[in-house]
């Protein structure tokens, strides 16, 4: 069993406002493939060349081929015990916010509800022009790109390089960070802003700050408690301590 300090256990059991920030680390434990293709056509491109507004305007079919290929890779990937532990954590606390930098949709698949996806969700689509969500299958082999009622082309609902983060998600994330009594930073490098500043915001506003990661980060020395290891192993143990 994980050895947890008494001050952490006290906050863990008494807190009512909890926020969690997750990064690529939690998804890596599920075997989520990298953004860049390693075979065939995709060897010729970098993510920075395809995940842009300019690329979509110039060659929407190519961009869609890449995203449909990525979706196919994700089809067999499943949430891991870390994802499911966060579902249990949400059920325990009255006020719980899950903030994620991941676009893989694994938190949703696991059953988490109050999620703020800072970079969007690769499983969802929206209109390039008006931003309206598009529900339906994308089939670029049918000879025409899917279009919205407004006439705009349909695109993946993810944040591309050079784009602003969704206003609702970023505002909600900082609001949750500011109000949190307990804040978890899980599997994130703490290098990519603005997400990297959210744990700091939480700590500056009185939150007890926990980091779970395989490697120390710029955040580690600032934390109240750092746990080295896999979130899929550590989070279930924290839930067990929380609920017993």
Tell whether 185 and 85 lie within a shared domain.
yes
Tell whether 153 and 233 lie within a shared domain.
no
125 within some domain = no
173 within some domain = yes
Res 113: pLDDT: 97
Half-sphere exposure of 181 (CA within 13 A, CB side): 15
85 within some domain = yes
132 within some domain = no
186 within some domain = yes
CATH number at residue 237: 3.40.50.1220
Cα of first residue to Cα of last residue in the chain, in angstroms, is: 13
Tell whether 113 and 24 lie within a shared domain.
yes
Tell whether 146 and 230 lie within a shared domain.
no
Tokens of 99: 């903030």
Indicate which residues carry an active-site annotation: 119
Could you give the CA distance from residue 70 to residue 26 in angstroms, rounded to a whole number?
A: 18
Task: Please write the tens of the pLDDT for every residue from 90-149.
Answer: 999 999 999 999 999 999 999 999 999 999 999 999 999 999 999 988 887 766 788 999
Q: What is the total count of domains within the chain?
A: 2
Task: Please write the tens of the pLDDT for every residue from 43-84.
Answer: 677 777 889 999 999 999 999 998 998 898 888 899 999 999
Tell whether 110 and 201 lie within a shared domain.
yes
Tell whether 154 and 189 lie within a shared domain.
no
This prediction has a pTM of 0.93
Tell whether 57 and 141 lie within a shared domain.
yes
Beta-carbon contacts of 239 under 8 Å, excluding residues fewer than 6 positions away, are: 85, 88, 89, 92
Is it the case that residue 202 has pLDDT exceeding 60? yes
- Structural domain harbouring 199: 6-32+79-119+164-243
């Amino acid at each position: 069993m994980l050895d947890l300090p008494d001050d952490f256990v006290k906050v863990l059991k008494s807190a009512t406002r909890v926020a969690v920030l997750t990064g690529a680390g939690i998804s890596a434990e599920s075997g989520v493939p990298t953004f860049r293709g390693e075979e065939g056509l995709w060897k010729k491109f970098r993510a920075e060349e395809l995940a842009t507004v300019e690329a979509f305007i110039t060659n929407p079919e190519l961009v869609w081929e890449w995203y449909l290929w990525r979706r196919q890779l994700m089809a067999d990937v499943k949430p891991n015990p870390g994802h499911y532990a966060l579902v249990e954590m949400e059920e325990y606390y009255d006020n719980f916010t899950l903030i994620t930098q991941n676009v893989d949709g694994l938190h949703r698949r696991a059953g988490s509800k109050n999620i703020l996806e800072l970079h969007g969700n690769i499983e969802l689509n929206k209109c390039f022009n008006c931003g309206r969500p598009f529900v339906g299958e994308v089939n670029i082999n049918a000879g025409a790109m899917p279009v919205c009622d407004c006439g705009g082309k349909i695109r993946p609902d993810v944040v591309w390089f050079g784009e602003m983060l969704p206003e609702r998600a970023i505002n909600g994330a900082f609001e949750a960070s500011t109000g949190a009594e307990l804040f978890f930073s899980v599997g994130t490098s703490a290098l990519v802003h603005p997400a990297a500043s959210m744990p700091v915001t939480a700590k500056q506003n009185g939150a007890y700050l926990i980091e779970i990661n395989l490697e120390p980060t710029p955040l580690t020395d600032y934390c109240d408690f750092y746990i080295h290891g896999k979130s899929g192993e550590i989070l279930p143990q924290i839930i067990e301590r929380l609920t017993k």
